[in-house]
Amino acid sequence: MIQSPLSRIDARMTHTVQHSDAPPRLSALFRSDNLFPTLMLGGGIALHAIETYITATLMPSIVRDIGGLALFAWATTLYVAASVIGSIFVAVRPASVTLNRCYVAGAALFGLGSLICAIAPVIGVVLLGRTVQGLGAGLLVALGYSFIRFVYPEPLWRKATTLYAAIWGVSTLLGPSIGGIFANGGAWREAFLMLVPISLLMAYMAPRRLPPGEDRESAPPAPFTQIALVLGSVLLVSFAGSVDEVALRAGLAGLAAVAIAGMLAVERRSQVLLLPARTASLSSPLGRIYAIMVLLMVTLTSDVYIPYFLQELHGLDPLASGYLVAVVALGWTTAAFLTSGLSGRNAIRSIIGGTIIEAASTGAMVFLLARHNPESSILQLAPLTVAIFGMGFGVGMGWAHLVTLVLRLAPDDEKDKASAAITTMQSIGSAFGAALSGVLANSFGLLDPGGVAGSISAATWLFGLLALPALLAFLLAASLRKEIC
């Protein structure tokens, strides 16, 4: 009887759990031989994660200070679109550019982008800074996954991704605290400025504390056509969210869909690939895993508007709204720890359950967030907090298992590309999620009629429609289980 690829993986994963002398502990990442790589890789993830929550908390204050509400979602869209480029560069970089040199570039770019945001006089300069930040973040996050196989033995791969989730959890405390304190004091520029010396210190330490991580003699050619189509699609969707004419908005969104279809068509026929071979089709298990990643991130990134609606509809100040949206990452971290010991079919079941929770929690925002609560009633905020927590919990139940499956499924000669593609898929999903959030919010009342009524309408449509990608992810995840069985 011929086994499917996932069946063979399931058998290997089950064998590892049953016959290893002792399952690896998370603390093994901090042994003397792993300590410095863990601190550096975790530091790169932390820099990105903390800044994400700082910016989420600061953006309402920024647009009130220098204007640009119509471009609110662009701060996230451009950031994650640029991170796509950064993550792809890790896979197609010249052979002479080692992974630790990429880390230096990522940290330096992140610091430069933070400086640009700090001195920005208008929203356009903030968006430029966010773009540069995103390029650096794409490098740093992709390197976290790319370095895993160079610095840890295979049994620690899942533990490393669990550590990344824990870092996001710590960021739920630091990011909103920092952003809220600066926002309440009207000093949002200083919040960006403080990231600059941290970034420069990490750039200085990288070549001294990280191995080169080089394992190839030549660089693969860059898939410029696919990259251009992906970025073009993201930008088209973003433009669609910024225009007033309904017909033009629909046309731009349609062109974005055509661009994605074109990218997949080129990927299936080209000799120069953006993704590992045969993953541009849902007939491939690895292709379905990447698709699940994208769909979950599209749904999750609808949280970009949660701080704004909390402040406008529920009467919360920037600090409180920042902490509530940070509950998303707390949910992700909690789920990652609770499910980190699962393997084989149980890991697939965790992925499936996570997609259901993600869809249900996002859909619940229609009833819990899209309502007027100017007194900040705890009776309304308590179930809303549970739903926000569930949005992160659903993704956290499956993400580490999806990453592990990618690293195991990818052919040996394409593991570098496959690991970089994890961040690419995450960034593409986040970019489309942010862009679609802008389209939906602006189309359904955020700007016209605006105010309380407009915010309620925008939140209703935004979260109702963006629960659908998570439902599609559920169908794809269920197909993986059927294949194993």
Structure token digits, residue 406: 């990618």
**96: pLDDT confidence band, cut at 50, 70 and 90?**
confident
Taking alpha carbons only, the member of 440, 322, 438 closest to residue 55 is 322
Determine if residue 122 is left, alpha or beta; phi over 0 gives left, psi from -120 to 50 gives alpha, anything else beta. Answer: beta
**Mean pLDDT for the stretch of residues 276-282:** 80
Predicted confidence at residue 344, as pLDDT, reads 83
Asked if the model's pLDDT at residue 369 lies above 90, the reply is: yes
Q: Are 39 and 165 in contact (CB under 8 A)?
A: no
DSSP H helices, 410-467, are: 415-443, 451-465
**Mean pLDDT for the stretch of residues 275-303:** 88
Rounded-to-integer distance, Cα 432 and Cα 434, Å: 5
**Mean pLDDT for the stretch of residues 128-157:** 84
Asked if the model's pLDDT at residue 484 lies above 70, the reply is: no
Structure token digits, residue 72: 């609110």
Q: Which residue has the higher pLDDT, 398 or 154?
A: 398
Q: Are 230 and 260 in contact (CB under 8 A)?
A: yes
Rounded-to-integer distance, Cα 176 and Cα 115, Å: 20
- Per DSSP, 30 falls in state G
Predicted confidence at residue 483, as pLDDT, reads 64
Number of Cβ within 10 Å of residue 93's Cβ equals 22
Q: What count of residues does the chain have?
A: 485
Q: Are 48 and 113 in contact (CB under 8 A)?
A: no
What percentage of the chain reaches a pLDDT higher than 90? Answer: 28
Number of H helices, E strands in the chain: 18, 0
**445: pLDDT confidence band, cut at 50, 70 and 90?**
confident
The most confident of 10-24, 239-253, 461-475, by mean pLDDT: 461-475
pLDDT digits (tens, 9 = 90+) for 47-66: 887 887 788 778 888 888 88
How would you write 404-419 as a 3-class SS string? HHHHHHCCHHHHHHHH
- Per DSSP, 274 falls in state S
Asked if the model's pLDDT at residue 110 lies above 90, the reply is: yes
Indicate the range of 10-14, 85-89, 162-166, 270-274 predicted with least confidence.
Answer: 10-14
**389: pLDDT confidence band, cut at 50, 70 and 90?**
very high
Q: Which residue has the higher pLDDT, 165 or 68?
A: 68
Chain center to CA of 449 = 31
Domains of the chain: 33-484 (1.20.1250.20)
Please state whether the predicted TM-score (pTM) of the whole model is above 0.85. no
Scored b (16 or more CB within 10 A) or e, 424-452 reads bbbbbbbbbbbbbbbbbbbbbbbeeeeee
Predicted confidence at residue 398, as pLDDT, reads 92
Rounded-to-integer distance, Cα 249 and Cα 237, Å: 8
Predicted confidence at residue 309, as pLDDT, reads 93
**Mean pLDDT for the stretch of residues 286-311:** 91
pLDDT digits (tens, 9 = 90+) for 1-19: 344 444 444 443 444 434 4
Rounded-to-integer distance, Cα 54 and Cα 320, Å: 13
Predicted confidence at residue 218, as pLDDT, reads 58
Predicted confidence at residue 418, as pLDDT, reads 80
Asked if the model's pLDDT at residue 333 lies above 80, the reply is: yes
pLDDT digits (tens, 9 = 90+) for 214-239: 655 556 677 888 888 888 887 787 67
The most confident of 175-189, 218-232, 259-273, by mean pLDDT: 259-273
Predicted confidence at residue 387, as pLDDT, reads 96
Predicted confidence at residue 4, as pLDDT, reads 44
Rounded-to-integer distance, Cα 397 and Cα 393, Å: 6
Structure token digits, residue 215: 């394992």
How high is the mean pLDDT of the chain? Answer: 82
Predicted confidence at residue 434, as pLDDT, reads 76
